[in-house]
Amino acid sequence: MATVYIGIDVGSISTKGVVLDDNFNVITYEYLRTKGRPIEAVLNLIKIFKERVGNNVKFGGVGTTGSGRRLAGVMIGADIVKNEIIAHAIAASHFYPNCQTVIEIGGQDSKIIILRNGIPVDFAMNTVCAAGTGSFLDHQAQRLGIPIEEFGKLALKAKTKVNIAGRCTVFAESDMIHKAQLGFPIESIIAGLCEAIVRNYLNVVAKGKDIKPLILFQGGVAANVGVREAFKKELKEEIIVPEYFLVMGAIGAAILAKEETNGRGSRFYGFGISNCEFNTKAIECNGCANRCEIIHTYRDNELIDIYGDRCGKWSGG
């Protein structure tokens, strides 16, 4: 029986999962939209993997990452729940051991990870504002009626250059509208937007970081060739988009799960959980004026987790 490792990355916009074999080769992967329902997305992933992998496997380890990592971890019985920064770094140095910079732009956040000799040594992440991330691109593509998959390709067709203000998405949008009213072709405006996103990223997120080659570009936005080109132009370096750029976080989580279990076998509840029903219930605690929202998670009406209090009265620590 083959041993497999599962990694799941629950992000704000998309939920990603991979199944790896013992040598960290990707057996299968899937990318789904979270659509604001992380529980459903995770169960769908498990269902898909059950169909593709079958029941005749041994689970070596399961890891979760991404902003929904905690909930996903509780649901499926993960061996390790790790933040996405480390997960991305681990996956990057697995495929490209001499990688020194990881650019990762996802749905709601963007980050830069600096690696030296395969070890993450520095990182930065956008803070209060989500300017220049995937969801903004998504929104603009929708507004212009262009499928997001085509968005980047259009940018490459631009013959002239248009400057778009990239500091803030609100300003960027009004700038785009204004330029369109002036009569600039849509390709040029999209190309301008891609450049603005890259400028914003380099000025805000990657500010002061020592960007050295090899540079990897991961996360959903790496699918956008327009942004890829803009990075290449701005950094004057080769930008590598790894084969599994969409699911690098999930791959990292699976690798970390193997490190964690170290051959002990997994806590994973098995593919069968895709038939279980998961519910969450939020109640407001009236113990003090903090009025924390306490999240109860149920599996088939059985309480499996309590989370969200500041004082530890509910969660016991």
Residues that bind another protein (CB under 8 A): 67, 82-86, 119-123, 125, 127-128, 207-208, 210, 288-291, 310
CB of 125 to another protein, least distance (A): 6
Q: Name the residue nearer to another protein (CB basis): 3 or 108.
A: 108
Q: Name the residue nearer to another protein (CB basis): 177 or 283.
A: 283
Q: Name the residue nearer to another protein (CB basis): 59 or 123.
A: 123
Q: Name the residue nearer to another protein (CB basis): 1 or 289.
A: 289
CB of 67 to another protein, least distance (A): 7
**Packing angle between helix 134-144 and helix 169-182, nearest 10 degrees?**
30
CB of 288 to another protein, least distance (A): 6
Whether 103 and 200 have beta carbons less than 8 Å apart is answered as: no
CB of 131 to another protein, least distance (A): 14
CB of 85 to another protein, least distance (A): 4
Q: Name the residue nearer to another protein (CB basis): 51 or 122.
A: 122
C-alpha pair distances (Å), 304 with each of 214, 285, 293, 301: 44, 19, 17, 9
Q: Name the residue nearer to another protein (CB basis): 147 or 208.
A: 208
CB of 70 to another protein, least distance (A): 8
C-alpha pair distances (Å), 220 with each of 24, 96, 109, 171, 268: 21, 19, 11, 23, 27
